[in-house]
Amino acid sequence: MRQSSTRREFLTQLGVGAIALTPNVWPPRSYERRATEAPRPVQTVLGPIDPAKLGFTLPHDHIFAGSAGILETWPALVGGRAAFRDRVVGKLTTMKAEGVDTIVDVTPSDIGRDIRFLEDVSRRSGVQIVACTGHWLNPSLTMAARTVDELADFFRLEIEHGIDGTDVKPGVIKVATDREGVTPFLEKALRAAARASKATGTSVTTHTYAVGRIGEKQAEIFEAEGLSPTSVCLGHSDETTDMDYLTGLARRGYTLGIDHNPQGLRPPAAGLPSWQQRATTVKQMIDAGFTDKLFLSNDWYFGVTIAGTGAMDVMDKLNPDGMLFVTRKTIPYLKQLGVTDAQIRAITVDNPRRFFSRA
């Protein structure tokens, strides 16, 4: 009797204890963010900041794109690390003077993210840099062999603990699909991004091939994983002028990256919209009521080793404004088309502030 009473008490205590503990222990607080919660700080390479301090933001550009670790192992490819750093700081300082406050660097580890380099150039130039986790198109043997949940764990590890042994955390998850569509590895990466985003509240930004309506394929996977479209920017959406495709995705809640603007300088033979056509698409999207679903960026680089030696010089010759193309060319042209200062501010300041501080 005494024994069974004790056992009952024990079980009761255990039950009460479990009920009391459950809400605190599982799911952890960070897993259950709600829209009603205050905006989170935005993670920059120099630490978290108040979202109101993001200012004018380029949400899809690259300080560098190469291969994993290459700035450490073969810096001579960019003229040496110190010389490259000085070139980057010079360009960032000019950008700061022309009104760019923040760059979101969407180079994940597999295409050469170097977090200490990003910290260094941000500190020296005063331009805020948001780094990313995630994965681009071509997996190494190691990444190809991982499961969806392992990839999601890797993204979360960086988001929750920091990148490459530092305490610098990424502010966005980058994933990609191109004209070949959702290959088996890329499907794993997209699903992993969705799971890591749902677990941490960190938004997702993509590389896609709008001409083949591949954004819709990405959307299918995100939605199958239960990720809200409001947490996703479908990048490079300006490679098409198909308003049916663009308004369809915006209506579902996706942000559209009008982020390949300098690509519009390529000769018409390339079959891509001119930069003026891209701006016209922006105006049409604004007129259709989607001002809050647009991002403007350049997808430019200061250094690139994924193409032949001299490729960066060829690109800079085509686009001497580099990462200032949007501010020097696209925005003045949008004003000519009748886009107001308030609408430009909404797209370049308010939209990034909301997107990168998503609760």
Residue type, 149: D
SS3 (DSSP) at 124: helix
**Residue placing its CB nearer to Zn ion in the complex, 101 or 299:** 299
Among positions 101, 110, 119, 299, the unique one binding Zn ion when judged by CB under 5 A = 299
**Residue placing its CB nearer to Zn ion in the complex, 238 or 299:** 299
Give the C-alpha separation, 191 to 208, whole Å: 15
Binding-residue pattern over the window 103 to 122 for Zn ion, x denoting contact by CB under 5 A: --------------------
Least distance from Zn ion to the Cβ atom of residue 106, Å? 5
- Measured CA to CA in angstroms, residue 301 lies from 61, 69, 102 at distances of 7, 17, 15
Taking CB under 5 A as the criterion, which residues in 158-197 touch Zn ion?
none
Stretch that binds Zn ion, among 17-25, 136-144, 249-257, 291-299 (CB under 5 A): 291-299
DSSP secondary structure, 295-311, as one string? EE-----SEE-SS-TTH
Stretch that binds Zn ion, among 29-37, 66-74, 80-88, 294-302 (CB under 5 A): 294-302
**Residue placing its CB nearer to Zn ion in the complex, 114 or 198:** 114
Stretch that binds Zn ion, among 128-136, 146-154, 187-195, 295-303 (CB under 5 A): 295-303
Placement of tokens 């950008």 in the chain = 95
Let me know: does 283 contact 334? Beta carbons within 8 Å.
yes
Least distance from Zn ion to the Cβ atom of residue 124, Å? 23
- Measured CA to CA in angstroms, residue 287 lies from 245, 282, 336, 338, 340 at distances of 16, 9, 15, 10, 12
User: In the bound complex, which residue of the shown chain has the CB atom lying closest to Zn ion?
Assistant: 299
End-to-end CA distance of the chain: 53
Task: Check binding of 239 to Zn ion (CB under 5 A).
Answer: no
Extract the tokens encoding 219.
Answer: 């959307």
Least distance from Zn ion to the Cβ atom of residue 161, Å? 25
Least distance from Zn ion to the Cβ atom of residue 66, Å? 13
Q: Which of 115, 132, 133 is nearest to 123 (CA)?
A: 115
Stretch that binds Zn ion, among 186-194, 263-271, 297-305, 315-323 (CB under 5 A): 297-305
- Residues in contact with Zn ion by CB under 5 A are 299
